Amino acid sequence: MIKAVIFDLDGTLIDSMGIWDKVDVDFLKKRNIEVPEDLFVDTESGNSINDLAILFKDKFKLAESLDEIKLEWQSMVEDYYRYELKIKPNVIDVLNFLREKNIKLAIGTSNSEHLARAVLSSNKVEDYFEFFSAGCQDIKGKPHPDIYLKAAESIEIAPENCLVIEDSLVGVQAGKNAQMRVFSIHDDYTGKDLERVIELSDKHFQTYSDMHEYFVNKL
C-alpha cells in the first residue's frame, strides 16, 4: 500500500541535467583545468552535491573548501533554477491526484535543498512536499539509500509503504536499496542506462500523462 511518494528532482521533475554538464566544464575552464573524458567514472561512492564536491577537490587538487566549491556551483546555476527551469508536462496532474488521495509527498534529491526549493517555488509546487531530503545534507548520495530513507523517516512512513519516482540508474538503485518500490520516468539524459533503468524499475513511464492515468486506475 502506497502511503508516500518521494520524487527525485533533476531529470525527474525538471529538465535540468544539461545545465550541470555546462557547469562542470565552465567550473574547470575557469581554473584552466582540462576536462577529462572520465570525469564521472568514479561515482560509486554516491552522486550527491557533497560527494561530487569531494570528488572534484581530490581529483583536481583544488584549494577551495568543500563549502566554497558547492556555493560556487550553486551561484552558477541559481538563476536557471529560479527563473528558467520548468517542471515536466503533466507533473501537476500527478501531484494533485496524489494529494487528493492523502498520500504524503517528499523530495529526495542529490541537489541542494536551496536550489530544489527555488525551482519548485518558481513553478508554484513547493508546498506540495512535506520534506526535502537533499544532497547538501550530511548523508551518503545515491546509489546509497540514505536520501530516501531519511525522507521516509522524516514523514514517518515505513520504506515498504513508500514509492520513489526516479529517472537515473543511480537513483533507481538508491530507491531499491532503500527497499522501496520505484517507478521511473523517461529523461533524455538517461542515455545508455535506459535499458537497465527499465529493468530495475517496478514500472517505467514515458510521460507523466501515462503515470497519471496509471494512478487513476490503480489507486
pLDDT at 205 over 90: yes
Sign of CA dihedral 76, 82, 84, 87: positive
Q: Which residues contact 124 (CB under 8 A, 6 or more apart)?
A: none
Q: So what's the pLDDT on residue 183?
A: 98
pLDDT in tens, 61-80: 999 999 999 899 888 889 88
Residues 185 and 167 sit within 8 Å (Cβ to Cβ): yes
Q: What backbone phi and psi angles, to 5 degrees, belong to 182?
A: -135, 125
Quick one: pLDDT band at residue 21, thresholds 50, 70, 90? confident
Range(s) of the domain holding residue 168: 1-219
d(CA 152, CA 76): 31
CA distances from 72 to 17, 65, 69, 130 (A): 17, 11, 5, 28
CATH code where residue 150 lies? 3.40.50.1000
Q: How many domains does the chain have?
A: 1
The more confidently predicted of residues 49 and 13 is: 13
Query: Which pLDDT score, from 0 to 100, does residue 24 have?
Result: 83
User: pLDDT band at 43, cuts 50/70/90?
Assistant: very low
- Output the pTM of the full model: 0.86
User: What per-residue confidence (pLDDT) applies to 40?
Assistant: 58
Reply yes or no on whether the pLDDT at 44 is more than 80.
no
